């Protein structure tokens, strides 16, 4: 039986993982995960691209994946280095006939794919990349990607009308034993360049471990055990505690849970419990997620430039580091902004409402280059997802998909609306705060 290498990327799950299932059908599958050192380097602002909180979640997710594979008779080969070099080397050593992986969208990831493909060619090893990232499959779009609507509502109406969500794919049964290769240890924080493991602040709204097991458990808890989905639309702008929103984003960002799985559970909930605006709203959020993925596919590297996907070269951005640093540290003097920035700094998490406000404040009030904010979020957030983070920052900065280009959040109004008693501000800044 021929050896097939399966390279896990941002799809750290066994349920609804088409790429993995296809690989296991094609031969004797050898699952590999590489902690790619490039994602732990510092970016142009001096922040580690993958910060401590996200790294903690990732390590937990990889450990969980290894356990789940071992339970099926397989194992997970773990390495640290450059993904394309390591994967090509393992493929050569084990005389594999093909490498399977999930397809990614953005530049760094597709560059690594291309580089791996180049290394495998002279070895006569095939590379199969399979789309697994979105709710709606890229092949099922009724238009070519360059005709993707530029406004979300137009996209949503089009896709809901004409495209079906594909069914989830069953988790594979027993798998073959992995032989003739050392499994390798899951790296420590020190190996990945951190001094110590991060301590999560007890005030956090997100106190969960990484991995498919906890992701599926949270989905079960939110929908079924606590029955919170029926009021999601009313509570989703909350800012304190675990249950104002589904909190599924970190698992979605690493692919520990699939968007189609979430969709199917919501549909089942609608049949068995209630179908209302709240249940639809969770699906609505998954469609937003797709929209940013397809936008990244359409615009490529423009998404990462200060001029944005609108290619607005007339907008001038300030690059005053001292001003930017007051925002990062939560020392702007605006309590609502500062509280949110302290939360992300101490926990790696922030509510959606908070994110929109701090991003709007940085780009619109301070006029600081929004790509700096996006790069800080990349480092700080547990649930960083390249397409969603950069898509949202484009949007808020007025160089993305927002049809209302000059939309600005009036911070004081937002604070009064979403934190009228100042409970959130007091939680993160202590008692002595005045808005």
Under 8 Å CB-to-CB from 194, ≥6 apart: which residues? Answer: 48, 52, 55
**Taking Cα atoms as reference points, which of 145, 139, 147 lies closest to residue 164?**
139
pLDDT in tens, 362-409: 999 999 999 999 999 999 999 999 999 999 999 999 999 888 867 889
What percent of the chain lies above the pLDDT cut of 90?
96
Q: What is the pLDDT at residue 326?
A: 98
Per-residue pLDDT for 243 more than 70? yes
Q: How crowded is the C-beta side of 78, counted as CA atoms within 13 Å?
A: 19
Q: What does the pLDDT average to over 145-150? A: 95
- The pair phi, psi for residue 98, each rounded to 5°, is -155, 155
- Residue 59 has a pLDDT of 98
pLDDT (0 to 100) of residue 408: 87
The whole-angstrom separation of Cα 282 and Cα 236 is 10
In which band, very low, low, confident or very high, does the pLDDT at 26 lie, cut at 50, 70 and 90? very high
CA 44/CA 21 separation, integer angstroms? 38
Q: Please report which confidence band the pLDDT of residue 431 belongs to, taking 50, 70 and 90 as the band edges.
A: low
Give the mean pLDDT of 88-100.
98
pLDDT recorded at residue 322: 98
Mean of the pLDDT values across residues 254-260?
Answer: 98
| pLDDT for 80 | 98
Listing DSSP states for 233-252 in one string gives HHHTT--SSSTTS---HHHH
361 and 374 Cβ atoms separated by less than 8 Å: no
Split at pLDDT 50, 70, 90, the class of 433 is: low
Residues 294-321: tens digit of each pLDDT: 999 999 999 999 999 999 999 999 999 9
Rounded Cα distance, 289 and 361, in Å: 23
Token representation of residue 39: 């994602």
Give the integer Cα–Cα distance in Å for 55 and 72. 26
Mean pLDDT of 408-422: 95
- Residues of the chain with pLDDT > 70, as a percent, come to 99
Using CB atoms within 10 Å of the CB of residue 60, give its burial: 0 to 12 exposed, 13 to 18 middle, 19+ buried: buried
What is the model's pTM?
0.97
Q: pLDDT band for position 435 (50/70/90)?
A: very low
pLDDT of residue 45: 98
* CB of 318 closer than 8 Å to CB of 367: yes
Determine the pLDDT at residue 429: 97
The DSSP bridge pattern shows strands 28-36 and 77-81 to be parallel
Residue 403: its pLDDT value, please? Answer: 82
| Exposure b/e, 271-283, CB count within 10 A at least 16 = b | eeeeeeebbebbb
SS3 165: coil
Range in 179-188, 222-231, 402-411, 423-432 with the lowest mean pLDDT:
402-411
What's the whole-number mean pLDDT along residues 172-192? 96
Q: What are phi and psi of 104, to 5 degrees?
A: -110, 175
> Are the C-beta atoms of 116 and 145 separated by less than 8 Å?
no
Question: Which residues are bridge partners to 78 per DSSP?
Answer: 33
Taking a C-beta distance cutoff of 8 angstroms, is the pair 373, 384 a contact? no
Give me the chain's average pLDDT, please: 96
């Amino acid at each position: 039986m021929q050896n097939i290498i399966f390279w896990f990327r941002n799809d750290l799950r066994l349920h609804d993982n088409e790429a993995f299932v296809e690989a296991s059908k094609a031969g004797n599958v050898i699952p590999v995960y590489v902690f790619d050192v490039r994602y732990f380097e510092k970016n142009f602002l001096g922040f580690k691209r993958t910060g401590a909180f996200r790294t903690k979640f990732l390590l937990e997710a990889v450990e969980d994946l290894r356990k789940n594979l071992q339970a099926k008779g397989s194992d997970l080969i773990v390495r640290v280095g450059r993904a394309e070099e390591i994967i090509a080397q393992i493929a050569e050593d084990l005389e594999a006939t093909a490498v399977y992986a999930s397809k990614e969208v953005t530049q760094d990831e597709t560059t690594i794919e291309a580089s791996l493909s180049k290394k495998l060619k002279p070895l006569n090893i095939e590379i199969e990349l399979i789309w697994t990232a979105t709710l709606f499959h890229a092949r099922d779009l009724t238009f070519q990607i360059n005709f993707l609507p530029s406004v979300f509502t137009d996209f949503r109406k089009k896709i809901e009308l004409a495209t079906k969500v594909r069914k989830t794919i069953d988790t594979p049964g027993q798998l073959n034993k992995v032989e003739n290769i050392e499994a390798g240890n899951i790296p420590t924080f020190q190996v990945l360049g951190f001094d110590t493991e991060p301590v999560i602040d007890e005030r956090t709204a997100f106190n969960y471990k990484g991995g498919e097991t906890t992701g599926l458990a949270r989905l079960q808890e939110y929908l079924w055990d606590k029955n919170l989905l029926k009021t999601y639309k009313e509570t989703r702008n909350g800012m304190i505690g675990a249950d104002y929103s589904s909190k599924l984003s970190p698992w979605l960002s690493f692919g520990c849970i699939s968007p189609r799985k979430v969709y199917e559970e919501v549909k089942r909930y609608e049949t068995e419990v209630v179908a209302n605006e709240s249940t639809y709203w969770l699906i609505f959020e998954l469609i937003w997620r797709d929209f940013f993925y397809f936008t990244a596919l359409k615009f490529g590297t423009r998404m990462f430039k200060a001029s944005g996907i609108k290619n607005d070269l007339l907008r001038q951005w300030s690059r005053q580091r001292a001003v930017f640093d007051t925002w990062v540290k939560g020392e702007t003097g605006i309590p609502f902004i500062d509280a949110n920035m302290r939360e992300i700094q101490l926990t790696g998490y922030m509510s959606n409402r908070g994110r929109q406000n701090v991003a709007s404040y940085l780009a619109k009030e301070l006029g600081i280059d929004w790509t700096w904010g996006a790069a800080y979020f990349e480092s700080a957030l547990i649930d960083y997802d390249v397409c969603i983070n950069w898509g949202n920052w484009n949007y808020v900065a007025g160089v993305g998909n927002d049809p209302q280009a000059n939309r600005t959040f009036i911070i004081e109004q937002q604070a009064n609306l979403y934190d009228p008693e100042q409970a959130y501000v007091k939680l993160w800044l202590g008692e002595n705060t005045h808005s």
